[in-house]
Structures are given as C-alpha cells and as structure tokens.
C-alpha cells in the first residue's frame, strides 16, 4: 500500500480498524452472555454501533499515529466491554473462554476481509475502480485483524492471552500473575517503542498473512 497517499490509506484502513476493534469487544460480551453474565447487554454494549465502543486514544489517536508514521504495524483497542465473572459458574475457566472469543472473532473477520479481497481479484482488469478498493480494504482488514488476534493472545495482563492463561493456572498463581495488570499497558507500550513487539509477532504474522492472502487470491 506504499503507493497510496496518506488520505487514501486512512480511507482504506478506517472501516477495517473500527470494526475489528468493535466486533472484538462485542464478541466478549456475547460469549459472556451465553455463560450467564448480562452486564454488557444491560449497559447497551452488545451493539455493532462503533460509537458505543470507541476509545479516543485506543481507537482513533494511536492507530492514526501508527498509520501516519508508516510503522507498518497498526493496532488499537476499544473501551473494554464490562464482564462480571461472578455471574459465571466457573469464573476463571469461563472467563478464559470469554477472553478467547475476542481473538477468534478477529480471525473470522480476517476470513471475511479475505473474501472481500478475493472479489476484487476476481473482478480483475478492466474494473480497477471497483477492484482496487476491494483489494486494498481487504488487505487492510486481514492485516489489522491478524495483528489484533496475535497481540491479544500475548500473556500480558490485561490482554486476552492473560485471561486464558489465568484460566489454567492454580488459583494462587493466577492471583499473583494478575497483579501485573497495573503495569500491562506500560509493558505493551515499551514493547512497541523498542520494536520488540515487531520481533515477537513478525514470523507468526508472516505465516498467518500468507494463509489469508492465499484465500484472497493474492
């Protein structure tokens, strides 16, 4: 996408970014409801309306800065959907499943965007005005959803990976481990700043992109 102008890149990325983050959070709330917690539903957060989920910094400012600086690595977050594990029969284990729902939703959306790109590829030459936007947006959708899925699987509290790990740890060690949550955001930003995050995710992202780009016919 290097041949696109900044404005064109923003147009291409805005829908995939916003909906990748929004659907991720709704997936948490939807699965939590299935396990007996109606908190998200009661607070009006089980909706695909992005306005209900937008976090000024995580949904708009940070992805925008990463896009403008051309880091090649774009991610963000929405306002977390509230979940009350006290409503679950098995709080730690059920919370692990709720946490896993977020990355799984991103993988499903990556499939959706791969099919969008595939339509653009199928339309092909002679229909560039339609085909190119579908391909570019599809590639952006694949990329942002794979990045979000992989980042959220990292075992850094409060990312989803930490909730999954908590579900399989003994109670005492789960409690000790989650004490790191107060430092989680700082750890994540440090990993991003020192480009350690790029190193950690580069190879798995490369493998995953190859799979989904093959689905897209790219």
Q: Where are the domains of the chain?
A: 6-79+89-216
User: What is the spatial distance between Cα 27 and Cα 105, in angstroms, rounded to a whole number?
Assistant: 6
- CB of 40 closer than 8 Å to CB of 81: yes
55-100: per-residue pLDDT in tens?
888 788 877 777 777 656 677 778 889 999 999 999 989 999 999 9
Which residue among 3, 25, 128, 181 is the active-site one?
Answer: 25
| pLDDT, greater one: 80 or 209 | 209
- CB of 52 closer than 8 Å to CB of 115: no
- CB of 22 closer than 8 Å to CB of 53: yes
Query: Mean pLDDT across the chain, nearest whole number?
Result: 89
Predicted model pTM = 0.89
181 catalytically annotated: no
108-142: per-residue pLDDT in tens?
999 999 999 999 999 987 788 889 999 999 999 99
Pair of tokens at residue 50: 């992005």
How much helix, strand and coil, in percent to the nearest 5, is found in the chain? 75, 0, 25
């Amino acid at each position: 996408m290097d041949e696109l102008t900044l404005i064109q890149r923003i147009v291409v990325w805005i829908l995939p970014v916003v909906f990748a983050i929004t659907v991720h959070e709704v997936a948490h709330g939807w699965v939590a409801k299935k396990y007996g917690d109606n908190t998200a539903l009661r607070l009006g957060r089980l909706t695909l309306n992005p306005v209900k989920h937008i976090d000024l910094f995580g949904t708009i400012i940070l992805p925008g800065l990463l896009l403008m600086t051309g880091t090649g690595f774009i991610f963000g977050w929405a306002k977390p959907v509230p979940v009350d594990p006290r409503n679950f029969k098995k709080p730690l284990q059920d919370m692990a499943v709720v946490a896993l729902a977020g990355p799984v939703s991103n993988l499903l959306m990556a499939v959706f965007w791969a099919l969008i790109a595939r339509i653009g590829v199928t339309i092909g030459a002679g229909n560039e005005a339609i085909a190119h936007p579908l391909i570019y947006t599809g590639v952006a959708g694949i990329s942002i959803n794979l990045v979000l899925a992989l980042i959220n699987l990292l075992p850094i509290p409060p990312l989803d990976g930490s909730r999954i790990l908590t579900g399989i740890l003994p109670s005492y060690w789960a409690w000790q481990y989650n004490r790191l949550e107060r430092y989680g955001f700082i750890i994540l930003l440090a990993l991003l700043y020192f480009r350690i995050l790029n190193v950690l995710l580069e190879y798995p992202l490369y493998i995953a992109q190859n799979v989904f780009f093959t689905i897209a016919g790219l």
